[in-house]
Amino acid sequence: MNDLLKLLLILGVTVLLLARRLDLGLVLGFNTILVAILFRVPLAAWGRSVIRGLVALDTLSLAGAVYLVLVLAELMRRTHAMDQMVAALQALVPDDRLTMALMPLLIGLMPMMGGAMFSAPMVDEVGERLHATPDQKTFVNYWFRHAMEYVFPLYSSLLMIATLLEVNVFEFVRASWLLSVVALLAGTLFGLWGLRSGAHEDRRGTSWEAWRQLLSSTWPLLLVIVTVVFLKLSMLPSLVLTIILLSLTTRMDLKRWPGILKQSFPPHTFSAIFGVMVFKHVMEDTGAVTQIPQALSSLGLPALGVAFVVPMVVGLLTGTAAAALALSVPLVAPLLTDMGTLSAGLWLFVGGFTGVLLSPLHLCLALTKAYFKAGWGPIYRRLVPSVVLVGIAAAGLVFL
C-alpha cells in the first residue's frame, strides 16, 4: 500500500469513528497507533513521538491558554460582563443576527489556536435568544472567526504564505480580499439565513451609554489583545494578568473560585487538545506527507489539481493552516511556475485552508463543536457548501 492510500485510510477511519460520536481525543489516540502500524514505525520511536507530543511546549502552552480562556469566560459570565457586552452590542447593532456574527469575527482578529472559545459563550447567549440550533451556533462561531483569515495580516498563515512566496504580505492581501467578502456572504447564507432578526423595539439608552457599557464589559478581552498583539506578551501571562485584575476589580469571593475552576475544565476539550497535538507530532515524525506529491503525480493528475489537493490533504491531516502551508507549499509550488506568483500563492493557500477548515482536527472546530454539543453531520452540511463557494471564488480570481 503506498503512502497516499495509507493517509486516505487514516482520514477514512477518522471520519467513520467521529460519525459514531466517539470522543475526538480517543479517535486520535487510535490514529497514532494506526500510523505506527501502517508506516512501520518502531515502537521506541513511536513512544518518543507520543511523549514529545504530550509534553511539548506548544502542547502545554495551548492547553494552558485554552483553560485560562475558559476560566476568563466563566469569570465574565459570573460577573455579568457577558450579559452587559451582549446588551451593549444589541443597543449598537439593530439586528441580533449581525451581533452574533460580529463577536467571533472581531475576536477572530486575535489569532490563537483554539481562540474560538473566547466568543463561544457570547454566541451562545445571543443564539439562545434567536432560537439558533447547536449546529448553527457552532457554524457561526467557527466560520465568522476565520472569515478574515484571507486578509488579516497578523494571521500566521498569511505571514507563512507571503514568506514562502517571497512577497509582501500586503501584496497578497490585495489579491485575496475578495475571498473574505465571499466568506462573509457564505456565512450569512448558511449560518444566519432563516433566523429571525431578533430586533428589539425597546432598545434604550444613547449610543454613548452603549459604547461605555461595551468598553466596561469588554476591557478584559481588549487587555488580552493589546498585551499579546501590541506588547508581544505571550498568551499565558496575559491571561493570568487579566484574570487577576478582573477578579480584583469585581471583588470575586474566594469561595466561588473552586466552582469556577471546575466549571472551566471540560475533559473532552482537553482530550481533543492533547490528541491533536500528539497526532500532529507523530505524523510529522513519519515524514509521510512529503510523499503525497509524487503519489498524486504518478496517478496522472494535472499539476493544478495536485497543487490544490496536496495542501488540502495536509490541512485535513494537521488541522493548522501554517503547518499545512509550511509542509506542502515547498513541495508543490514548482508545479506552478507558469502562473504568476500571487495567483499560484492564492491557489495553494485556498487549497491548504480548505483542508484546514474541513478538518475535524482543527481545534477551533473541535472545541466549538464540543462546547455547543452539536453533531458532525449538521455542521458539515453548512460548512462544506461554504468552503465550496470560497473555492469557486478563488478559481475565478486565479483563472479569469
What percentage of the chain has pLDDT greater than the value 70? Answer: 92
Bigger pLDDT: 202 vs 142: 142
Task: Please report, as a single letter, which amino acid is at residue 223.
Answer: L
Q: How confident is the model at residue 203 (pLDDT cuts 50, 70, 90)?
A: low
How many helical (H) and strand (E) elements, i.e. helices and strands, does the chain have?
20, 0
Task: Please report, as a single letter, which amino acid is at residue 374.
Answer: A
Q: Which of 49-63, 209-223, 317-331 has the lowest mean pLDDT?
A: 317-331
Helix ranges, 108-234 (H):
116-129, 134-146, 156-165, 169-187, 207-225
65, 114 Cβ separation under 8 angstroms: yes
pLDDT of residue 381: 95
Bigger pLDDT: 290 vs 366: 366
**Stated pTM of the model:** 0.69
Query: What are the distances in angstroms from CA 267 to CA 25, 311, 371, 381, 398?
Result: 10, 31, 11, 27, 44
355, 313 Cβ separation under 8 angstroms: yes
357, 311 Cβ separation under 8 angstroms: no
Please give the grid coordinates belonging to residue 107.
Answer: 475576536
Average pLDDT over residues 309-329: 80
Block residue for cell numbers 479569469: 400
Highest mean pLDDT among 191-195, 262-266, 282-286: 191-195
Q: What is the mean pLDDT of the chain?
A: 84
pLDDT tens figures, 20-39: 778 778 888 898 999 899 98
DSSP codes of every residue in 72-130: HHHHHHHTTHHHHHHHHHHHHSS-HHHHHHHHHHHHTTS--TTTHHHHHHHHHHHHHHT
pLDDT tens figures, 87-145: 787 788 878 898 899 889 887 776 565 668 878 888 998 898 889 999 999 999 999 99
Q: How far apart are the first and last CA of the chain?
A: 39
- Residue among 67, 137, 133 nearest 104 (CA): 137
Q: How confident is the model at residue 170 (pLDDT cuts 50, 70, 90)?
A: confident
pLDDT of residue 66: 76
